[in-house]
Amino acid sequence: MLFDFLYTKKECSHSKIPLEVDCAYCPDCGELVENQWFILRCACCGVKVKAMIKNGKIVPVEKHCTNCGMAEFNVEKLEKVNFINVNYAVLMKKTVRSENFSFTQSWVDVTNAGTLCGKLGLLK
């Protein structure tokens, strides 16, 4: 019981959302989730570097570039992942926050060739 308490995850991982869609509603939590693809490039030579997500940040697997030895990297966002970048791409699933608007609507029935006879008390 203590083991279950310590290792329960409080946030949804959105694992049932397909990878090929741009955004979808999660069937587990009901939130709108957007799939965002990123790749890392070396800041010096621009070579693509394998990456991973660690504590919500995109970091390289290796500490230094295997081409030039540089330790700085640039994160590049992709619109769509293709077969060339699939080995280097990292997927982050972000929830889309929408603003809730509060409004009231009312309708009036138009009958008898354009005269208004609604339930709101409008007369001819």
**SS3 readout for 51-87:** EEEECCEEEECCCCCCCCCCCCEEEEEECCCCCCCCC
Number of domains in the chain: 1
Kindly state whether residue 6 falls inside one of the protein's structural domains.
no
Average of per-residue pLDDT across 41-48: 92
Question: Contact at 8 Å (CB) between 12 and 24?
Answer: no
pLDDT, position 74: 94
Kindly state whether residue 1 falls inside one of the protein's structural domains.
no
77 pLDDT exceeds 90?
yes
pLDDT, position 72: 92
Kindly state whether residue 82 falls inside one of the protein's structural domains.
yes
The CB density around residue 12, as the number of other CB atoms within 10 Å, is 16
Kindly state whether residue 7 falls inside one of the protein's structural domains.
no
Average of per-residue pLDDT across 65-94: 90
What band does 76 get if pLDDT is binned at 50, 70 and 90? very high
Residue 76 CA from chain centroid, whole number: 16
116 pLDDT exceeds 60?
no
Q: How far apart are CA 40 and CA 47, in angstroms?
A: 8
Kindly state whether residue 70 falls inside one of the protein's structural domains.
yes
Kindly state whether residue 80 falls inside one of the protein's structural domains.
yes
Question: Contact at 8 Å (CB) between 93 and 33?
Answer: yes
pLDDT, position 11: 78
Average of per-residue pLDDT across 74-90: 91
Q: How far apart are CA 33 and CA 26, in angstroms?
A: 7
What band does 19 get if pLDDT is binned at 50, 70 and 90? confident
pLDDT, position 88: 92
Question: Residue 50's domain spans which residues?
Answer: 19-97
Least confident range of 56-60, 79-83, 108-112: 108-112
pTM of the predicted model as reported, rounded to 2 decimal places: 0.66
Kindly state whether residue 90 falls inside one of the protein's structural domains.
yes
